[in-house]
Structure 1
Amino acid sequence: MTTPGNWQKSSFSGPGDGNACVELAATPSALHLRESDLPHTGVTTAPIPLAHLLHGIKTGRLGTGTPRCD
């Protein structure tokens, strides 16, 4: 797997280049997530599963059964 070079820091992260943020990068075939504290460890996924994860987090329904995108 090729490591993407276009990492974007979460808007919820603190200012500057500190190591307290989640970063996201897109490649033609996948989305990549990593914690800035551990930049060599990451998760690779596709857009739909990531959308379900983020929706579950935002709505508080994460882990409560079948995801619903209202």
Structure 2
Amino acid sequence: MEAQLYAGAEDEAAAERARAELWAPPRGERVQARAEGRPGPTGRGVSMAEVQAMMGAVAQQDAQLTGGRSS
């Protein structure tokens, strides 16, 4: 069934929308969760500076683990 949804999509964006709709929680569930006091999404993304800092840390750890060899 899932494959048929994707096959009927006009383009990749339509397939992604179908995938998101298929796997989304039931309508109203997110509203109910917030009404019950459970925290919802924070809505805060990661800044470019934070991404660059994380990538630098990953590169540093990779260099330590591989002895400076690149793959």
Q: TM-score, normalised on structure 1?
A: 0.25
- In terms of Rg, which structure is larger? 2
Point out which structure has higher relative CO (alpha carbons under 8 A, 6+ apart): 1
Q: TM-score, normalised on structure 2?
A: 0.25
Relative to its length, the structure with more helix (as a share) is 2
